[in-house]
Structure 1
Amino acid sequence: MLRVLGIGLRLLAWIFRRFPLQRRVVMLSRQGNKPSVDFLMLKDKLAEIDPALPVIIRCTKPEQHGIMQLIAPMCNQLWYACTSRVVILDGYNPCICIPPKRQGTFVIQLWHAVGAVKKFGYQSLDTPAGRSSSYAKLAHMHKQYDLIVAGGIGAKDTFAKAFGYPTSAISALGLPRIDKLLLASSSHNEATSRWPWLNHEKPNVLYAPTLRAKRISAGWLTQAVKDLSALSTEVGFELIVSKHPLTTLQNIEMLPPQIHVLKDGCTEDLLREVDVVLTDYSAIALEAGLVGTPVFFYVPDIKEYRSSPGLNIDPEKDNRLTAATQVSELFPLLTDPVLFQEKAKQYFSFIDEYFAGIQPTATERLAELIYRKVD
């Protein structure tokens, strides 16, 4: 199927390249049907610089459609990829990676996370969680980028390995979403009006795990929340669960009153409002640090993750990070204020190094770079 797709994309691209190249910026995503905050903030900034510059956003979610429903959005994305001066991606896109790139087109990979705790791309080839080498070759995985943007300097080496480029092709310019985190203006009152349970006098703990592969037991989140629920009763804290839409949490209606499952709003909106974040291999572990909220890693399956897909940031091996493989190991962290502050200070030293030099001006810098490339 992938071989046939490649033939079709090359043929259509050859036809589309017969049309004039437009002074236009197009942002293409296959991460979801709605544009990311990065795309929206960049579009607004480009409109400030040049209101006459066309900026097009095209989004789709391949996993939510059958093959026939994919044809139209893919052809639409291919058209814009072949006829625009600047193309911005937030993940792998066959419309750019497979057909020969048109001369005069500048391609930017604006990856959809501020960093990478777990390995991806070429780092995880031929592991159960990754792609096969034969697939990567047929898909021309992550080929034809002119610039790859990293959220922080700590991600440069990781991105170079994951995308298969030299580190000179990776620029730690930061992401618009980092600007949003650093400059967030929403008040505590606004947050508590959306989530009244934030008004409780007890500490708020946010649990935000990453999406697990299909091969992992479907009940893993239910078990994790059950274990953390028992801890919340023992210690006395409110537990807020932010689950991935594709992850199943069973018997939500039977959870005790101090457990709250986030149903609306982005997880990022809560980061300033909670006292600590528990996560595993999610980039939320990095985002929380940017807003000054400490993170502890709850990683009962870390041995499996080390082997597949692998870890770029191993919280058990970096002495600035704090990892627990059992719920009981979280108890002293959440009950001893001196230990909590000590571990938080160590974590923030890691964040300071990972995002060294980052200022809340990434959107402006990226927009100016894009504008220079569009002419």
Structure 2
Amino acid sequence: MKKVIYIWLVKLVSRWKRVKDPQDIVYLMSFAGNEHLIKAFAELAKQLGRNFTVLYLPQCQAAATKLAAEGIQTVEFTDGFDFVFHKLQLVMQARLLLCDNYYAFLSGCAFDHQQTHVVQLWHANGAIKTFGWEELTTAQRSAADKRRFQKVYDQFDEYLVGSKKMAQVFAQSYHVPRTRMNVIGYPRTDELFDKNWQMQVSQNIKQKYPDIIGKEIILYTPTYRENSAGKPVMNLPEDFYQLVNQLSGNQRLIIKLHPHVKAAEKQLKQQLNSDKVIWVDDFSTNDLLLVADRLITDYSSVIFDYSLLPNAKQILFYCYDYDQYAQQVGIQADFKSWIPGKMVTTTADLINEVQQPLEATDFTQFNRLWNTANDGHATERVLQTELKYIQK
């Protein structure tokens, strides 16, 4: 009932705050990592004499602070009365609204879509986990909830994706027409093609962690998991430590966990106390991909980025809880048919794979499927595409 009242309030206030000729560009940020695109739109807005604002959720505070330091207007928000009465007006003044996620409040926004163009950018380059109507819990929700979900999905006039495959996933998961899909490229991947960025970040990591120089680097990045109460958990198999014991003298394991599992990380550090394990807090997962010879993950979208890098050699899928995860969270039905690496479900099998001589994987077919339009120039195309809506 609270959600219904809140959305009703959003609808009422959005009608009140809607302007006849909106001119602003607004970016809704729930994930960091797309700062390159944000800066590009900020510069475009400056050239056109338009206001540009980044409305960000609290978890993006660090990224927002850096953007603000470069003169970009940033405003923190969370759902609530303050947002509805003081910040929703920023959304309703948008000629172009860029979104990186599902935002529930959008179901109540009374946009005039002839005046406001709403774009879904998303926060991942591909999809392994199910979402939207394909998410397992959706079927159990009330009819009112389902109507509210679809209203959000229908608000997006355009979905920017890097492949026809991702377009298919969105159309199926959100029950929206394929005509709304624009296979234009995923802007966040542009950085992955930047040779200067590759060299600089790689050098910085090696300078900070010289022990990795000349070693075979294995990067382990498990996906974020929650328990039945919605709390973050880290439920690695009890025998995971054996992987560390079986590493060769030339191998180093970098473990990069999700920020929400800091408590579990502390305990894991005690269990995996070894010179062969390196814990890195001062570089992002994207940065660490640049020094990884082998990537071990499970259901993380990091694979779609790693496969584009020149240093990418092998991906291993350590899916020790595959059946449980598939039943409780949901995995794309064709996952096993297109993963660009071997899937293992036990630590013993993982150890066996890691002990094999490293052979480079050909990611060509995988990238044709998922990275079709990602070539380092997606941001340019997005700016050109959205310019016509800004100047409409």
Q: TM-score, normalization: structure 2?
A: 0.82
Closer, same or farther: CA 21–48 of 1 in aligned 2, 3 Å: closer
Which residue in 2 is equivalent to 1:233?
245
Q: CA deviation at 1:217?
A: 10
Q: CA deviation at 1:351?
A: 2.5
For structure 2, list consecutive stretches of 5 or more residues without a partner in the other structure.
Answer: 62-76
Match of 1:94 among 82, 85, 104: 104
Say whether residues 1:28 and 2:28 are aligned partners: yes
Say whether residues 1:142 and 2:153 are aligned partners: yes
- For the 8 Å contact 1:296–1:323, the answer to whether it is kept is yes
Which residue in 2 is equivalent to 1:209?
222
1:278 aligns to what SS in structure 2? strand
Closer, same or farther: CA 71–214 of 1 in aligned 2, 3 Å: farther
Say whether residues 1:267 and 2:285 are aligned partners: yes
Share of identical aligned residues, percent? 21
| Root-mean-square deviation over aligned CA pairs | 3.0
Which residue in 2 is equivalent to 1:285?
303
Closer, same or farther: CA 38–131 of 1 in aligned 2, 3 Å: farther
Cα distance in 1, alignment partners of residues 229 and 319 from structure 2 = 14
- For the 8 Å contact 2:225–2:232, the answer to whether it is kept is no
Which residue in 1 is equivalent to 2:188?
177
Which residue in 2 is equivalent to 1:244?
258
1:304 aligns to what SS in structure 2? helix
Cα distance in 2, alignment partners of residues 251 and 353 from structure 1 = 39
Which residue in 2 is equivalent to 1:84?
94
- For the 8 Å contact 1:26–1:86, the answer to whether it is kept is yes
Cα distance in 2, alignment partners of residues 232 and 374 from structure 1 = 54
Q: CA deviation at 1:28?
A: 1.3
1:22 aligns to what SS in structure 2? coil
Cα distance in 1, alignment partners of residues 211 and 333 from structure 2 = 33
For structure 1, list consecutive stretches of 5 or more residues without a partner in the other structure.
Answer: none
Which residue in 2 is equivalent to 1:47?
43
Q: CA deviation at 1:93?
A: 1.7
Q: Partner amino acid for 1:6?
A: I
- For the 8 Å contact 2:126–2:166, the answer to whether it is kept is yes
Q: Please identify, of 114-123 and 305-314, the stretch whose mean Cα deviation from structure 2 is larger.
A: 305-314
Q: CA deviation at 1:214?
A: 2.6
- For the 8 Å contact 1:27–1:89, the answer to whether it is kept is yes
Q: Partner amino acid for 2:243?
A: L
1:159 aligns to what SS in structure 2? helix
Q: Please identify, of 108-117 and 87-96, the stretch whose mean Cα deviation from structure 2 is larger.
A: 87-96
Cα distance in 2, alignment partners of residues 135 and 141 from structure 1 = 11
Say whether residues 1:361 and 2:377 are aligned partners: yes
Match of 1:329 among 344, 349, 355: 349
1:21 aligns to what SS in structure 2? coil
Q: CA deviation at 1:219?
A: 9.5
Provide Cα deviations, 1:270-291, integer angstroms capped at 9, x if missing partner: 1121111111111001111011
Q: CA deviation at 1:175?
A: 1.9
Q: CA deviation at 1:210?
A: 1.0
Cα distance in 1, alignment partners of residues 378 and 86 from structure 2 = 29
Which residue in 2 is equivalent to 1:121?
132
Cα distance in 1, alignment partners of residues 220 and 136 from structure 2 = 29
Q: Please identify, of 320-329 and 281-290, the stretch whose mean Cα deviation from structure 2 is larger.
A: 320-329
